[in-house]
């Protein structure tokens, strides 16, 4: 049993378009799993199905071995799923610190809001900001910080709940080279903590260097699964990427 199992051929359709077409894959504890594929391959849709923002037409999502396909978003989060978004969902009118504070508050629940405990709370917020390296940005408004930084903020917010599974949607886009390198180290640490990390990512260097397993999607189908070296040499994956490139040159 893996931590996360997308099983029984998950299908999602938008009108006539099949965004996820009979996809099944897994992500394990202590591992960084990559989900790659050309634009429109259905990666983010998969994330929406896993986190509960979207109901699949068919298929099952199992988390900790339990079927969560029809479990509401917030209850999946309570069971240990955290996610970031490809299109940012930071709380733009709040400061960076208040973004993390809000996440910590949500994690404590409504009962926690009414009980005192502000001091340990503040320390926790500071620790989370420090972990992703955002201490300097704490007082900025979240809609005023660079995109890459906002992605780290979303990660810090997720970590407030100490989730067993992190779903990261293009976490490195907007980061420069040295920041990406540091981020890769952070990813390995997060997995070493005993978390599962499932990551949609376009930066192939990052994917190849940090992932333990990679699933490649194309037109909603899983076309290859395996270790980075296997994926790199896979003919179907190369076709999916290079095929796209050919079309791009013609257009």
Partner 1 sequence: MDSVVSFTILGLFTGAAYAIAASGLVLTYTTTRVFNIAHGALGMVMAFIFWDFSQRQGLPTWLALVLVLGVVAPATGWAIQRFVTRGLGEGPVSVTLVVTVGLLVGCIGLATQVWPPESRTPLPLFNGSGVELSNTYVTAHQLITVLLAGMVALLLYLLLTRTRIGTAMRASVDNPELLKLFGGKPDRVAGLAWAIGTSLAALGGILLTPVVGLSYYDLTLLVINAYAAAMLGRLRSLPLTLVGAMGLGILQSYAVAYLPSDGLLSGIRSAMPALFLFAVIVLMPQAQLRVGQVKGIVSAPLPSRTRQLGADVALVALVALLTAWLPGSSLLLVGMAATYAMVMLSLVLLTGYGGHVSLAQFTFAGIGALVYAKLGEPTLSGLLLSALVAAAVGAVVAIPVLRLTGLYLALSTLAFGLLMDKMIFQAEFAFGTNNSLDAERLTILGTSFSSLGGYVLVMTFFLVLMAFAVLALRRGALGRLLIAMRDSPAACGTLGLDTRWFRVGLFALSAGMAGIAGGLFAGLRGTIGASDFQVLASLPLLLLAVVFGVTSVTGAVLGGTGLMLLPVLQSTNPSLAGLIFGLVGFGAVALGRDPNCLANRLFTLGRALRAQVRTPVRRPSESYQDRPEVTEEVPAHVAS
> Rounded distance, CA 186 to CA 124, Å?
18
113, burial (CB in 10 Å: exposed 0-12, middle 13-18, buried 19+): exposed
Total residues contacting partner 1 by CB under 8 A comes to 48
Per-residue tokens: 70: 């029809």
Q: Cβ closer to partner 1: 153 or 214? A: 153
* Stretch touching partner 1 by CB under 8 A, among 56-64, 116-124, 178-186, 242-250: 116-124
Q: CA separation (Å) from 33 to 76, 156, 188, 209?
A: 19, 19, 11, 11
Eight-class DSSP state of 133? T
Strand partners, 53: none
113 binds partner 1 (CB under 8 A): yes
Site for partner 1 in 28-87 (CB under 8 A): 48, 51-54, 72-74, 77-78, 81-83, 85, 87
* Stretch touching partner 1 by CB under 8 A, among 4-12, 133-141, 171-179, 227-235: 133-141
122 binds partner 1 (CB under 8 A): yes
186 binds partner 1 (CB under 8 A): no
Neighbouring residues of 212: CB distance < 8 A, sequence distance ≥ 6? 28, 31, 32, 33, 191, 227
Q: Cβ closer to partner 1: 108 or 232? A: 108
Q: Cβ closer to partner 1: 101 or 195? A: 101
**Candidate list 7, 8, 9, 105; residue touching partner 1; CB under 8 A:** 105
Q: Do residues 231 and 214 touch, judged by C-beta distance below 8 A?
A: yes
Q: Strand 196-200's sheet: what is its strand order?
A: 81-83, 165-169, 196-200, 32-36, 213-218, 221-226
**Candidate list 19, 27, 142, 240; residue touching partner 1; CB under 8 A:** 142
Q: Count other Cβ atoms within 10 Å, centred on residue 81.
A: 28
Q: Cβ closer to partner 1: 88 or 186? A: 88
Applying CB under 8 A, which residues contact partner 1?
48, 51-54, 72-74, 77-78, 81-83, 85, 87-95, 97-99, 101-103, 105-107, 113, 116, 118-119, 122, 139-144, 154, 157-158, 160-161
């Amino acid at each position: 049993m893996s931590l996360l199992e997308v099983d029984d051929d998950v299908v999602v359709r938008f009108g006539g378009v099949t965004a996820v077409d009979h996809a099944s894959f897994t992500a394990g504890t202590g591992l960084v799993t990559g989900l790659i594929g050309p634009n429109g391959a259905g990666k983010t849709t998969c994330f929406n199905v896993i986190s509960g923002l979207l109901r699949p037409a068919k298929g099952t999502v199992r988390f900790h071995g339990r079927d969560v396909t029809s479990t509401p978003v917030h209850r999946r989060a309570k069971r240990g799923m955290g996610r970031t978004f490809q299109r940012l969902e930071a709380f733009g009118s709040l400061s960076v610190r208040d973004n993390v504070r809000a996440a910590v508050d949500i994690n404590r629940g409504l009962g926690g809001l009414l009980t005192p405990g502000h001091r340990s709370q503040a320390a926790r917020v500071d620790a989370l900001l420090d972990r992703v390296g955002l201490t300097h940005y704490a007082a900025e408004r979240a809609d005023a910080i660079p995109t890459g930084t906002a992605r780290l903020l979303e990660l810090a917010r997720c970590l407030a709940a100490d989730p067993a599974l992190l779903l990261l949607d293009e976490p490195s886009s907007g980061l420069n080279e040295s920041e990406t390198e540091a981020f890769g180290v952070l990813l390995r640490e997060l997995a070493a903590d005993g978390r599962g990390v499932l990551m949609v990512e376009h930066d192939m260097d990052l994917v190849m260097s940090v992932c333990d397993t990679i699933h490649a999607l194309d037109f909603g189908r899983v076309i290859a699964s395996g270790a980075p070296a296997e994926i790199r040499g896979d003919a179907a994956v190369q076709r999916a990427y290079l095929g796209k490139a050919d079309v791009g040159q013609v257009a």
